[in-house]
Amino acid sequence: MLRQTMTETGAVRGFPGTDARITVFKGIPFADNTSGDNRWRAPQPAKPWEGVRDCYEFAPITMQAIPGKDQNAFYSREWHVDPEVPMSEDGSLALNIWSPAKKSDEKLPVMIWIFGGGLKEGYCYEMEFDGERIASRGVILVTIAYRVNCFGFMAHPELTAENPDAPTNFGFLDQKAGIDWVKRNIANFGGDPDNITIFGQSAGGGSTLAHLCSPLARGSFNKAIVESAGGVAFDYPSNKGMRHYRTLEKAEQDGVKFLEFLGVKNIAEARKLDAWFVEQKFMEFGAMWRGIIDGKYVTEQVDDTVVGGRVADVPIMIGNTNNEFMTDPAGGSGLPGVSVPEPKDAVEEMQRMQDWAKKTYGDDAEKYLELSAARAEAEGITLRKAATVNLNEIGAQLFAEIQSRNGKAPYYYIFGPSFPGDNAGAFHSSDLWFEFETLMKCWRPFDGHHYDLARKMCNYWTNFAKTGNPNGNDADGTPMPEWKKFDHENPCAIKFMDELTFEEDIYDDKQRFVLERNLKNLIK
């Protein structure tokens, strides 16, 4: 097995995984520290070392609220089980590699994972991201770190003046630096630098979209998978602020206010502050900072890039779970553990639904409620449930619709099996256990059909990484259900439910109404 190899900054030594056929390399620096003068700068080159570096431990995670501090929180129980995970600005821009290579000339396909967490939290070696099952299929997995929240997405007039070519979006630039490091070095780990798939979920999926849309990322990767990140930030009341990039001017104003909140006069003083102090103050500041149209790495809104046909011309998979970011017209977020006041009676519930429909669809409000009522009757569900909208589903389907019309149809999926242990359903991020095939690490009492589904999902993901086509055989040599590309004339999807099926014409009348209304607004 290839346990020792070279990188551009020095030799590294890995160790056998739980599966001894896999070599694991933890904590390889792909960029320098981000403390001191490097805080709020584009990632700088990693420093070389002498001798052989033992890559046996993960690097500290980037600065954020303590993961799992509240062990009663939903995601703490799910996977943020270690509130004592090390955290630092020093040495945190590192990556981890799971390689099945026996020698360096194997040219294996490569997958690069970008973690989610709203661009405010998360890290690249959460327990569900273990790479052994992906690597067991002959694919090298790399997971990369990046800066989040105010450390990753700060903007300020001083920063723009200091480095006009990279004034902000440091989190995206960290990801790009990790991708570029892989392209330069992965051949020494048995990988093919010309067969790289980037993939991510939630904010990691949004980051994948950012790279698909950035002119500066062209040629850095060959395929992409966008998971539970929507796709097109369509015109929807609760959707705009959450999904759209800030302008540089607005982001700079936010940065000026934040420095005032920190009690410092300029960037130089802010760079001298303790990192944990800055993080705590940012939590008090209460902002939700996302990507920024800086005119360099991010040149426009994702919507405009997609509609304009300027998305990177590479094979794409995109999809969502069927129970995430649900916008309930009578109130509700679809986020696990987030409660909202229920209507006190049926009269208040209907009034809320009518008010919501009017705000959302204007003169078409009654039409929407009629179509929702028809769906409720057909499926035997409540009107409220029938009228609920899955924002990620609509965004992903709009992306697929427009890409198909532009001659670049993606593969589209919907994930929604039963989830034992509670009544959370296929919640946001629940698919991570399956695509990495790491169900054995979860507290939930999964049974055989869940393990079968996870095996097949991991097969599809790694097949796509190998060839740009997810189709192929299961472990016993039998063909898995054929997954066709999405077609705007025949909208279709593979459905990862308790049974795995491929379905044609997946829209009902209500869904088609929502999509056509938004397509009309998007495509002028």
The answer to whether 419 and 454 have CB atoms below 8 angstroms apart is no
Closest-CA residue to 4 (of 92, 148, 101) = 101
Q: To 10 degrees, the CA torsion angle through 426, 429, 435, 437?
A: -90
Rounded to whole angstroms, how far apart are CA atoms 331 and 153?
A: 30
Q: How far apart are the first and last CA of the chain?
A: 56
Please give the structure tokens belonging to residue 140.
Answer: 């090298």
Coil/strand/helix, residue 308: coil
> How many angstroms separate the CA atoms of 464 and 316, rounded?
9
Task: Quote the CA–CA distance of 233 and 240 in Å, as a whole number.
Answer: 7
Q: Phi and psi dihedrals of 25, rounded to 5? A: -120, 115
Calpha distance 405→392 (Å, rounded): 20
Q: Which of 99, 202, 207, 220 is catalytic?
A: 202
| H helix or E strand, kind and range, residue 54 | strand 52-54
Q: Tell me the three-class secondary structure of 345-401, residue by residue.
A: CHHHHHHHHHHHHHHHHHHHHHHHHHHHHHHHHHHCCCHHHHHCEEHHHHHHHHHHH
**Region at 178 (left for phi over 0; alpha for psi -120 to 50; beta for the rest):** alpha
* Token reading at 383: 């009107």
Rg (CA), the chain: 23
Closest CA to 399 of 237, 519, 240: 519
Query: CB within 8 A of 354, min separation 6: which ones?
Result: 365, 369
Residue 202 is among the residues annotated as catalytic for this protein: yes
User: How many angstroms separate the CA atoms of 192 and 185, rounded?
Assistant: 10
> What's the Cα-to-Cα distance from 237 to each of 47, 244, 359, rounded to whole Å?
47, 12, 8
Catalytic residues: 202
